[in-house]
Structures are given as structure tokens and as C-alpha cells.
Structure 1
Amino acid sequence: MQVAYALTMPRRGMPRLRDRYGDAFTVDMPIFGRTVVISAPAEIKQLFQARSDLADNLDQNLGQVLGRGSLFALTGDEHRRRRKLLVPPFHGRRLAAYEAVVEEETVRELASWPEGRPFPTLPSMMRITLNVILRAVFGAEGAEFARLRELLPAMITLGSRLAVVPVPAVDWGRWSPWGRFWAMRREYDAVVERLITTAERDDRLDERDDILAMLMQSRYHDGSPMSRSEIADELLTLLAAGHETTATTLAWAVERIRRHPTVLRDLVTEVDAGGRTLREATIVEVQRTRPVIDLVGRQVKAETFQLGRWTIPQGYAVLVSIALIHDDEALFPDARAFDPSRFVDAKPDLYQWIPFGGGTRRCVGAAFATMEMDVVLRTLLREFTVEPTTEPDERWRSRGIANAPAGGGRVIVRRRTDRPVAAASGERSEVAR
């Protein structure tokens, strides 16, 4: 009952447990077993910095739906080796090259938006982020691309819900949720197998910027390549992690700025002037006040693990409550208020602001997601006038792994007719750079 309350009422469950038991407490989780939940900054930092022989990846994690070759499923040295191969596509020149892709997909989707009536933005954000990550991963469109665009939304939605459910010992086929998921996974593997085969025949593979091409050419320190199954699992990881959470955060961003007209007005003024400081701070504040993922953690691997004040036995899960630390008044005064100005002149501490997790298991695509949210929000504010609202805040709704706005981030927009020409030219130059 305690766990059900904490997980189904994320804005009340965890805070009430903390109010009653303090900033660390133990619960029995159906999936994780005996679990310590922490929210003290020093203990969170220590957990994220712990050696892998003391505390490492949770035994139950997204690897059960993403595959044994997924970064989520790997531990220790194997995890570090794989992570080194995945970092380059999400930084530097390659990251900048994806900006034009994000803007192109955003403009394409915004062209279908209705004017003058309310509608949820989450479906649109899902389409934008799915198309962006598909193009980033595979590079070009085609029959396989179109099939993945149809297959992945249902597969990811079902998989995110099954990620917190034990894998059954018996396969009941399409009569069961797991059976449906495995059928979709087999189809996904077949599509990726064809894409890999096609890429192997490409004489100009080394000139491509897509992630599939880079993974096929990457090598571990001993010179060995990734296997086809490893590539398939890792691509699914990037497609899943780079799609739903980013889209949900963007829907929350729309929900937040509509209810804060001063912030909305200042964001539009900044966009017209070609700036980005407030927009970047707003994205950070949205992630602080509306974290899409509420828990991140480790499993104790040593016989005991001394975590701050606590000695934790082997096998225990240690979960960090993102909502609790993000709402800590000692770290963020007036924490429940939505106030992007708190991050205008101050970068967030990566052990206190943790929407992407932390330590060696921090989301490898954090920079990509941040860039994508920045470009989508900039394009939206440039193209449309967003009408503010005095409606109550949208409630939280669980989508399995992610917490989304119950109304889907509803909005009323009108296409702008007052867009400054100079600002528009400057934005195109920024994307080109």
C-alpha cells in the first residue's frame, strides 16, 4: 500500500513518506525488493560516485525490454566500454549537425496545428522527437524508416509499462502483453537487420553522420566491432530514451509557460532578439519542477555499502527520489514556484538537479535532448503566439516510466504575423552554424 501510494501519487506520496520518516526511508518494492529511498544531496552525490563494485546498475531495469546488449543492462567495465562508443554521436560537430533536422521536423509538424482552439501538444511532440531520433539514428527515409515510425510508438509505450512488471516464465503469445511486446520486438529486429545489411554494402559508409553508421564502424579497445544484436539493442535504447521523455518534457514546457504569462512574454521577446539564455533556463526549470522520470538508483553489490549515515546490506536497491531533491527548499528556495530566473545566471548542480540521472550512468543523450528541446521551443515561439491561461495546473499522469501532463500539455495558438525579419535571419544562421 505504501509503495502504491508513493508511485501513483508522485507529488504527494514521496513527500508524505519523507515528512513522516525523514530524508531516507526503507520500503518494500514489488520489483526491487527491500529498497532505501534517499533525497539528501551529500548521499546522492556519494551514491552516484560510488565504484561499481560497491553499487552498480539496478538488477531490474529497462534492459529487460531493451535487450541484454542495451546500455541499461550492462554493468562495470562492460558498461564503461560501451559508453565510450556512444558518446561521440551526441557531442561536438555531430550534435550541431542535428539542429537543422530538429527544426525541419518541428516546422513540418507545426504546419498541421489548428488555430484558435485548444488541443494537446503531446502527440505532436511525440511525432517530432520520433522523427528526429529516427533520422539521427538511421540517416535517411525509406520503407524501413516508415515501418519503424509506425511500430515504435506502440512498442515503446507498451515496453515502458512492462519495464516495471516481472518477465513471465511462460510465453502466452499475443494473448499477453509480454507476448505482444516480443512480437513487436521480433519485427523491429528484422527491420534493423535489413538496415545493417544495406549499410554494410554502402561504399560511402564512412561519410555518413547517422548513428547506425558510426556504431558499425566503432571498435572496442581490442579492435573488435559491436555485434549485430548489440547494435540492435543499443539503437532501440537510443530510440526509446530519445523519444518519449523528451516529448513529454516539451509538453510540460507548454503547460508551464502558458500558466506564467510574464515568462511567456519574456521568452517571445528573447526569441525575436535572437537570444537563448532565458529559454535555456526555462527548460532547466521545467525539468526541475516537472521531472518526467521520478526515480533513479543503484543496487548494492558489496557485502555492505556505507552511504553517509547508513550501512546498507548487499542486494538492497537504493533509489534517489528526483522529485524530493528538486523540491528541497534548502537547495531551491520557494521550490514549488516555477521560476526560470533562478537558472539564468547559475548552472544547475548535477548532483542536485538530476532529471538525466547522475554519475557514470547519467543519460548519454542528455546534450542531444537539451538541444532538441531548445530548438523545438524556439521554433514554436517564433512561429506561433501562445495564448496564456488561468486554468488549473494539469495533473500528473503515469505512462509507465514517464509522468506526463494529464491533458497532454493543452494549448491554444495563433500563427504569428509580427515575426521580425532580422530575428528570423539570425535564427537560420544559428542553425546553419
Structure 2
Amino acid sequence: MSAVLPGPRLSAAVQTALYWASPRRTVRRWQAAYGDVIGATVHPMGQVVFLCRAGDIKDLMRADPATFRAGAANAALGGSSSTFSLLTADGPQHTNARALLMPAFHGRAVRAQVEYMAEITDTNMATWPVGRPFALHRYTKEIALDVILRVVMGIGPDRLAEVRAAMLQLSRTESAVELALGSPVLARLLPYARRRERHLADSHRLLQEIIAAHRDDPALDQRVDALALLVGARGEDGKPLSDREIEEQLITLLVAGYETTAAGLAWTFEQLVRTPSVLAKAASAADTDDDEYLDALVKESLRLRTVVPDLSRMAMTDVEFAGHRIAAGSILTPCLDVVHESPSLFGDAGVLRPERFLEDKAANWLPFGGGIRRCLGATFALVEMRTVIKQMLRRFSFSATSAADERFVRRHITSEPGRGAMVTVQARAAVAAAR
């Protein structure tokens, strides 16, 4: 059992700068040099153990959550969430919060919302620029956010535009520089960090007003949206959750839920326009309601362009794991994208080939994590992506391009297309008439 982890011997400052400048490239270089278990020092997390082997990652997801805590690791990474958030909670607090919110993301509840998802997509597509290149990611953000606000949060049309604008502005102000600095005091010296604090305050004000309106809703006990469930919940002491607790859960659901889905949708079309044969099959599947193929496309897209490329767990004690001695306080980071791009696991791993998921090749497919911390909204996200993709392909013909793949841009926990997923669309009726 090795007590010394293989990894770079550069200074902590250099390792931190290399990682935050290009997380994806840096981890792959370290893997090539040091193997599948890499020890590094990355501020603000401190000692980080990158795991690049599928078996080790699965072992970690199944490990005792008291020994490897996800909430503690997420808190060390930073961000807007407090100890009330589902992301940063551990133990009974996390279990109770997850159980409380589960009905809003149950498969049957999600399928009942498909019509609303399609309606939101259709409304948004009416604003697209037709016949010229544009960045699709902007529009997938709007769609995914409206789905979260209307379907999951139950926010009515009278407040929709206001809350949408606040949340979009809040998400735009996040920066990897703030994470690398680690210190909240230093971060506040940055102009965009100060703007982010103002936007966060505006978001809290809006959510407080919406929570108050939900509390006064006489039909509250008949609603199953996440906000209604939170407002109607009681803590262990029998008292309602505080507004602050509810706000933190909502911001977690809003930011984490819509940004990841929006990036997944953008990456899907970024790849489709570079793979005309798959694009043609997907358009046919949309026309014929072949949900099996569209589901496979979604899974393949999330494999090839893993939106959340890594996870985190904190070792709470000195522990033996993956053949090494891991020190207490270390952050173990499963590199999901490295696994998803492994030729030994996925063969032609660099090719967009949805058929691999029709052949049941999902054993090492991990975009939503696993174990008791598997993403609460996984089913919701898969159904939403399939529904939105179907509506888009039914309405528009997307032009193929010979441009190079867009580079990966890391924003906090998500990996996004560097140019926003540039596409060109034509109304399908117009395309048919021109033939």
C-alpha cells in the first residue's frame, strides 16, 4: 500500500495555475505521466486525488458516505451554496432533503410535464435567427431555465421574466478565478465578484417574495412542484423550513439544474452538425417518435461531451483506497470524462454513435454520478433533453459544418462549448419547398 501518491512535484501555486487554466488538458497530461491515481495540490481544495479508473470511481460511489463526504467536498470547492444546500449537506440532512424533493423529480411526475417542456421549446424557437449562424447555447439556457422555473418551481407567468433575468445574470458572473483564489475576502476584491454578490442579493429578494406568495397559496397542499414541497415541509422540530433554507435549495436546483441541461443540449447539436449521418437519423427519430433512438442520442452526447466532468468526495479520516494511503481532508475527484473517453471501455470513443446505447453499453456511463449522491434530477434531465431535441429537430433543419470541434470551456462545475455551439437553421417547411 503506497503512502506517497504519484503526481506532479511542482509548487502548489504552479499546480493550481495549471489546473485552473485548463482542467481537462492538465488532468490528461498528469494521467499520461503518473497513471490513473494522481495526487496534486490545487487551491482552494488543497490535496486532491484524481481518479481516472472506472473501477476506483465506482468503488468510491459505493463507499461509506461517512468516510467519503460529498457535501464537505462541495463546500471546499466553493460557490454560492450554504450548508442548507442539497449539494453541501451530508448525512441525515442530505437524506431528508433528498427524500423531500424526490416527488418533484419522480419519473411519473416528470413525464406528466412533457407537454409543458415542448411548449416552452416551441415558444423559444420562435425567436431564433433563421438562415445565419448563431450560438445555440444562449437559447438552450433560456429553455432549460424556463423549464426549471415553470415546471419544477411552479413560478407563474407574472414573475417568470423577472426571475429568469435575475438567474441568467447570476450565472454569468461565476468565475474560475474566484475558485482559484479560494479566499472569500480576496474574491470580493474582483469587480465581477462584487457584481455577483449584488446579483445574488437580488435573487434572494425575488425568491423571498415568491416563497411568501407560495405560503399564502390556499391550494399549496395540492401542488407537487419542488417549491411547494419545500414550503410545506417540516423540520425535525416540527417547524416549517426557514426562508433561508428554502432559498438555498432553490438556488441549487435553479443554477445546477438548468446550466447542466442547457450545456448538454448545446453540446448535442454542436456534435450533430458535425456528424450529418447521425443528424439525419435523429431527425427521422423525431418525426416518428422514436424515443428509444433519441434517448440513446442523449446518453451518447453526455458520454462524448460530459457536462459535469468530475465529482468530489472528502476523506474524513486517513484511509486506504485505490492502492494508496489517502490522508484525511484530501479531496477525491473521479474524472468521469476520462472514463467516458476511454477506448478500452467504449471502443471508438471519439465518435458520436448513439447505437452503442441501443446495444446496452451503459456499464461505465456515469454522467450523473452514482450511489446515494446520484443526481436527483437525472430522470428529469434525460426526459427534458429528449423532448427539447425532438421539438427542435421537428421544426428546423440544422446545417452541417466542416469547422473544427469547439473547445471545452470550464465554468465552475460544467464544461461548455467554447463558441456557444454555433449552428445555422432553416425552417423545415422552407427546406422541403426548396428541394
Q: Establish whether TM, by shorter chain, passes 0.5.
A: yes
Instruction: Indicate the SS of the match to 2:379.
Output: helix
Q: Determine if the alignment matches structure 1 residue 121 to structure 2 residue 136.
A: yes
- Kindly provide the amino acid, as one letter, of the partner of residue 41 in structure 2: D
1:248 matches 2:263:
yes
Cα deviation for residue 348 of structure 1 reads 1.5
2:331 match: 317
Find the aligned partners of 1:268 and 1:216 in 2 and give their Cα distance: 42
Equivalent in the alignment of 1:386: 398
Deviates more, 1:82-91 or 1:181-190: 181-190
- The Cα offsets for residues 370-415 of structure 1, whole Å up to 9 and x where unpaired, read as 1111111000111111121222111222333322111211111111
Amino acid at match of 1:77: P
* Residues 328, 10 of structure 1: alpha-carbon distance in 2 compared, 3 angstrom cutoff: same
CA contact (8 A) 2:19 2:42 kept: no
Partner of residue 92, structure 2: 77
Q: Does 1:234 align with 2:249?
A: yes
CA displacement 1:143-188 (0-9 Å, x = unmatched) = 5433211111121232464455424247968x74443322222222
Which of 374, 377, 381 is equivalent to 1:369? 381
Q: Which runs of 4+ in 1 moved over 6 A?
A: none
- Is 1:305 the equivalent of 2:322? no
Give the 3-state SS of the residue equivalent to 2:416 in structure 1: strand
| Alignment match, 1:194 | 209
User: Is it true that 1:360 corresponds to 2:381 in the alignment?
Assistant: no
Q: Greater CA deviation, 37-46 or 214-223?
A: 214-223
Question: Equivalent residue of 2:80, what SS?
Answer: helix
Among residues 12, 21, 27, which one is paired with 1:8 in the alignment? 21
Alignment CA distance shift 1:386-1:170 (3 Å): closer
Is the 1:148–1:188 contact (alpha carbons within 8 Å) kept by the matching residues of 2?
Answer: yes
2:63 is equivalent to residue 50 of structure 1: yes
Report if the CA contact (8 A) 1:383-1:416 is conserved: yes
Separation in 2, partners of 1:30, 1:16: 19
Question: 1:47 & 1:313 partners in 2: Cα distance?
Answer: 15
Residue 3 of structure 2 is matched in structure 1 by none
Change (3 A) 1:10 1:63: closer
Q: Does 1:134 align with 2:149?
A: yes
Tell me the TM-score normalised to structure 2 length: 0.89
The one of 296, 305, 308 equivalent to 1:281 is 296
Q: Give the Cα–Cα distance (whole angstroms) in 2 for the partners of residues 36 and 387 of structure 1.
A: 42
Structure 1 residues 338 and 9, CA, compared in 2 at 3 Å: closer, same or farther?
farther
SS in 2 for 1:14: helix
Counterpart Cα distance in 1 of 2:29 and 2:275: 27
Alpha-carbon spacing, 1:169–1:116, altered in 2? closer, same or farther (3 Å): closer
1:142, CA displacement in angstroms? 4.8
Give distance in 2, aligned partners of 1:307 and 1:158.
37
Q: Please say if 1:106 is aligned against 2:121.
A: yes
Deviations 1:219-243 (A, max 9, x none): 4566443222111100111100111
Q: Distance in 2 between matches of 1:375 and 1:164?
A: 37
Q: Where does residue 221 of structure 2 map in the other structure? A: 206
Offset of 1:208 from its aligned partner?
A: 2.5
Once the two structures are overlaid, the 10-residue window that deviates more, 211-220 or 135-144, is 135-144
Whether the 8 Å contact between 1:62 and 1:72 is mirrored in structure 2 is no
What pairs up with 1:18-57 in 2 under 5 angstroms?
Answer: 18-57=31-70
Per the alignment, residue 431 of structure 1 pairs with: none
- Could you tell me how far apart the structure 1 residues matched to 2:351 and 2:186 are? 48
Mapped to 1, the partners of 2:203 and 2:382 lie a distance apart of: 27
Q: Which moved more, 1:164-173 or 1:101-110?
A: 164-173
Aligned to 1:428: none
Distance 1:354 1:77 in 2: 25
Aligned to 1:330, the other structure's residue is in SS state helix
In 2, the alpha carbon distance for the partners of 1:61 and 1:170 equals 16
- The more displaced of 310-319 and 6-15 is 6-15
Q: Report how far residue 329 of structure 1 moved.
A: 1.9
The unaligned stretches of length 5 or more in structure 2 are: 1-13
Q: Is this contact kept in 1: 2:296–2:357, CA < 8 A?
A: yes
Q: Within 1, Cα distance between the matches of 2:76 and 2:379?
A: 23
Corresponding residue of 1:331:
345
CA RMSD of aligned residues (A): 2.3
Query: How far, CA to CA, are the matches of 2:225 and 2:94 in structure 1?
Result: 22
- Specify the code of the residue in structure 1 equivalent to 2:280: R
Deviations 1:243-270 (A, max 9, x none): 1111111111001011111111111122
Partner of 1:258: 273
The aligned residue for residue 8 of structure 2 is none
Give, in whole Å, the separation in 1 of the partners of 2:136 and 2:142. 10
Shift of 1:2: 3.9
Matches within 5 A, 1:150-165: 150-159=165-174, 161=176, 162-163=178-179, 165=181
Aligned-pair distance for 1:315?
Answer: 0.9
Residues 215 and 172 (structure 1), Cα distance of their counterparts in 2 relative to 1, 3 Å cut: closer
CA contact (8 A) 1:81 1:220 kept: no
Counterparts of 1:310 and 1:123 in 2: how far apart (Å)? Answer: 44
Contact 2:20–2:180 at 8 Å: present in 1 too? no
Partners in 2 of 1:311 and 1:274 — Cα distance?
51
Change (3 A) 1:24 1:47: same
Q: Which stretch has the larger CA shift, 260-269 or 222-231?
A: 222-231
What is the CA-CA distance between 1:21 and the residue it aligns to?
A: 0.6
CA distance in 1, matches of 2:38, 2:174: 29
